[in-house]
């Protein structure tokens, strides 16, 4: 790491002098120009800050007399322009966010190996300060700000490279003339406006009109500039260069905006860290960390993460950052699925909602028949209303939206740029993968916990309990442990030679009683066990079948075919056979009304088959018990036989052989 500048003053603040000495050596190893001092409490820190000798403060939150977060506020009162980096313990994300909100330039998590990365964080902070210091005199001094009536003059060669620039041009673009001589005009044009400049050049004659176009200043500020170019021609009439004039019209169009620059590597690291920290925690913890990363990286004051409740067709807000408790009390926590579907329209991952515009339901077609993605008119690049909203879709591998992230109120009057939207799309892709993986892992864990609970809690294996009561308890246990709201258990009766549903569990107990009276003939059962319905060792009925009709009508009502939305259709039913050890079907588990409104995965079907196998084993044990009791009743007890002398001799020999 090369030397940044001579005599760079850094103040280290912490309670442990030995730890500060380690940090000092690490910093000096990377740059000998660092002049590092220590302060071990708040009083000595403020005293040293008042000297004005420091370019950066590296502040540990753990201090003996007060928290570093409180000291941060005092430092900024004394020296508003002094950059501060707050060091916090691993897991103290709330302190890190609070520090950024209070004006800290950056923060450092004291995780394993953090000292290795610390010098790079310090270097980056010093570079940011250097850029801000270079730009500040021009922004602070009214004398140096070009007025809307002043025009800058410059000259370009035929390739658009600067040959000269007057002081007004230098002040607008915040470059010295020698710096401009190394640039082309296109280097300073805002992203997305290159085509507009090319169109202007294409229609330019000997005298041309002007074009208003965003130009990026050295500090990153995007200034709306009125640009006028006039070609310089040689004796042969060919264009040899251009004379140009520019005028800053930002004040007329809403002021300059500061482009938000995203550090992609840092974004990826934070997302990876968020996933690692939430690995063994509930999905809610991951969603909260993703909201915090989005707020910090994209510099928005408010961020919300919502997930889809498939059964109720609403998106439920799971994680919120930047909202006061009194706001949450009155804030709507659910968003209708139809509204979100209308916003995204399955064509894009990111949507900006302009607060003062209505939606166009049918976007127009662009030339060539390409549909226009926008359903609202984009504002000029440097205008942003605090009520505007950005939505980022969370989608699964098949492109279906299962959640979204909203970002509101850009911090420090930052305006999202194309670069920010591009990185938001990357964030959406990565966050989608992380959340989907976490949901899948959580689902598998819940399924195996359910299997364990089923094995421990089922009363089927208790042979002293009546069979009907055991079946009923098992049905309710299956409903509680599965993702289905209707569970029915049917047993094949030897006497009637039909399948009788002897137990049912659903939300309405009266309906459960009505469902228990349903029975199917064995031919009806065979008509449902078709190869086309087979999923592993079970059967997922998807088409109209008469045996299913009575179940659907009793459970949903006569108009059940009109109630279904999503993957699970009106005729869907999952049939899981209950088999003996020899594979003979002795019953059926019927599942309907999944809470997610989705088709079951193979993993969930396999889990239900394991449960059905336990039920088959319990039924078989009861049959063996009944049969053995019956045999004992029919066989007369044996007549006791008197021991003979020969028997006594034989017993004597056995004792001598095995016991002596």
User: Of 51, 99, 96, whose CA–CA distance to 78 is shortest?
Assistant: 51
Question: What is the side-by-side order of every strand in the sheet holding 8-13?
Answer: 34-39, 8-13, 56-60, 84-89, 106-110
The pTM score is 0.43
Q: What is the mean pLDDT of residues 358-377?
A: 48
Cα-only R_g, the chain? 37
- Which long-range contacts link 206-210 to residues 24+ away (Cβ below 8 Å)? 206/230, 206/231
User: What pLDDT sits at residue 565?
Assistant: 63
- The CA distance from 244 to 213, in Å, is 14
Q: Partners of 125 in the beta sheet?
A: none
Lowest mean pLDDT among 173-182, 447-456, 515-524: 447-456
Contacts of 187 (CB under 8 A, 6+ apart): none
User: What pLDDT sits at residue 257?
Assistant: 45
Mean pLDDT of the residues in the chain: 78
Tens of pLDDT, residue by residue over 63-122, are 888 888 888 888 888 888 889 998 888 778 778 777 877 888 888 888 776 777 788 778
Domains and CATH numbers, the chain: 8-140 (3.40.50.2300), 152-258 (3.30.450.20), 264-362+383-444 (3.30.450.40), 459-634 (3.30.450.40)
Tens of pLDDT, residue by residue over 542-595, are 999 999 999 988 888 877 766 666 688 888 999 999 998 888 899 999 999 888
Specify whether the CB–CB gap between 484 and 575 falls below 8 A. no
* Residue the block writes with tokens 């819940």: 446
- The CA distance from 173 to 305, in Å, is 39
Share of the chain above pLDDT 70, in %: 77
Start-to-end C-alpha separation, the chain? 88
User: Of 208, 209, 196, whose CA–CA distance to 232 is shortest?
Assistant: 208
Q: HEC string of 583-637?
A: CCEEEEEEEEEECCCCCCCHHHHHHHHHHHHHHHHHHHHHHHHHHHHHHHHHCCC
Alpha helices in 543-596 (DSSP H): 546-556
User: What pLDDT sits at residue 148?
Assistant: 45
- Asked if the model's pLDDT at residue 504 lies above 90, the reply is yes
DSSP string of 466-528, one letter each residue? -HHHHHHHHHHHHHHHSSEEEEEEEEEETTTTEEEEEEEE-S-HHHHHHHTT-EEEHHHHHHH
- Asked if the model's pLDDT at residue 271 lies above 90, the reply is no
Q: Which helix (H) or strand (E) covers residue 400, if one does?
A: none
How does residue 301 score in pLDDT terms, banded at 50, 70 and 90?
A: confident
Q: Are strands 389-395 and 401-410 parallel, antiparallel or unpaired?
A: antiparallel
- Asked if the model's pLDDT at residue 174 lies above 70, the reply is yes
């Amino acid at each position: 790491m090369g030397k940044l500048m001579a005599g760079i003053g850094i103040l280290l603040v912490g309670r442990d002098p030995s730890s500060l000495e380690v940090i000092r050596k690490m910093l000096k190893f990377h740059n000998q120009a660092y002049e590092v001092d220590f302060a071990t409490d708040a009083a000595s820190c403020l005293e040293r800050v008042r000297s004005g000798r420091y370019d950066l403060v590296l502040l540990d939150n753990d201090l003996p007399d007060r928290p570093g977060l409180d000291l941060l506020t005092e430092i900024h009162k004394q020296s508003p322009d002094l950059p501060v980096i707050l060091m916090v313990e691993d897991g103290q994300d709330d302190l890190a966010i609070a520090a950024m909100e209070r004006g800290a330039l950056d923060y450092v998590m004291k995780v394993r190996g953090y000292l290795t990365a610390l010098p790079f964080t310090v270097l980056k902070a010093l570079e940011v300060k250097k850029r801000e210091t270079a730009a500040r005199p021009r922004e602070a001094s009214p004398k140096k700000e070009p007025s809307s009536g002043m025009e800058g003059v410059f000259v370009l060669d035929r390739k658009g490279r600067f040959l000269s620039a007057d002081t007004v041009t230098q002040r607008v673009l915040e470059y010295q003339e020698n710096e401009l001589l190394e640039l082309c005009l296109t280097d300073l044009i805002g992203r997305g406006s290159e085509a507009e400049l090319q169109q202007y050049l294409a229609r330019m004659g000997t005298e041309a009109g002007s074009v208003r176009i965003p130009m990026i200043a050295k500090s990153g500020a995007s200034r709306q500039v009125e640009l006028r170019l006039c070609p310089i021609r040689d004796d042969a009439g060919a264009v040899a260069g251009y004379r140009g004039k520019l005028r800053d019209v930002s004040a007329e169009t809403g002021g300059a905006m500061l482009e938000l620059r995203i550090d992609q590597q840092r974004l990826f690291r934070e997302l990876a860290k968020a996933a690692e920290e939430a690995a063994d925690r509930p999905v809610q913890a991951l969603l909260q960390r993703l909201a915090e990363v989005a707020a910090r990286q994209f510099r928005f004051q408010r961020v919300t993460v919502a997930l889809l409740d498939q059964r109720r067709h609403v998106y439920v807000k799971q994680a919120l950052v930047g909202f006061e408790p009194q706001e949450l009390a009155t804030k709507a926590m659910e968003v209708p699925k139809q509204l979100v579907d209308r916003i995204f329209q399955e064509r894009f991952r990111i949507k900006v909602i302009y607060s003062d515009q209505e939606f166009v339901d049918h976007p127009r077609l662009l030339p060539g028949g390409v549909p226009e993605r926008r359903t609202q008119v984009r504002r000029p690049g440097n205008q942003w209303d605090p009520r505007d909203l950005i939505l980022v879709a969370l989608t699964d591998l098949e492109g279906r939206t299962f959640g979204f992230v909203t970002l509101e109120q850009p911090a420090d009057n930052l305006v999202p740029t194309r670069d920010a939207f591009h990185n938001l799309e990357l964030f959406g892709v990565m966050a989608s993968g992380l959340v989907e993986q976490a949901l899948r892992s959580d689902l598998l864990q819940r399924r195996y916990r359910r299997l364990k609970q089923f094995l421990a809690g089922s009363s089927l294996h208790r042979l002293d309990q009546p069979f009907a009561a055991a079946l009923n308890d098992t049905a309710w246990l299956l409903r509680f442990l599965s993702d289905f709201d209707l569970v029915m258990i049917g047993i094949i009766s030897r006497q009637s030679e039909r399948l009788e549903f002897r137990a049912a569990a659903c939300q309405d107990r009266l309906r459960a009683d009505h469902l228990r009276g349903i029975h199917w003939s064995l031919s009806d059962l065979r008509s449902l066990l078709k190869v086309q319905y087979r999923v592993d060792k079970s059967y997922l009925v998807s088409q109209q079948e008469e045996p299913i009709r009575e179940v659907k009508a009793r459970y949903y009502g006569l108009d059940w075919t009109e109630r279904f939305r999503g993957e699970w259709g009106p005729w869907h039913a999952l049939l899981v056979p209950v088999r003996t050890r020899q594979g003979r079907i002795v019953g059926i588990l019927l599942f309907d009304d999944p809470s997610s409104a989705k088709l079951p995965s193979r993993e969930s079907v396999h889990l239900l088959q394991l449960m059905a196998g336990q039920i088959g084993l319990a039924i078989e044990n009861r049959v063996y018990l009944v049969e053995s009791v019956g045999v004992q009743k029919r066989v007369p007890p044996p007549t006791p036989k008197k021991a003979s002398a020969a028997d006594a001799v034989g017993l004597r020999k056995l004792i001598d052989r095995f016991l002596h």
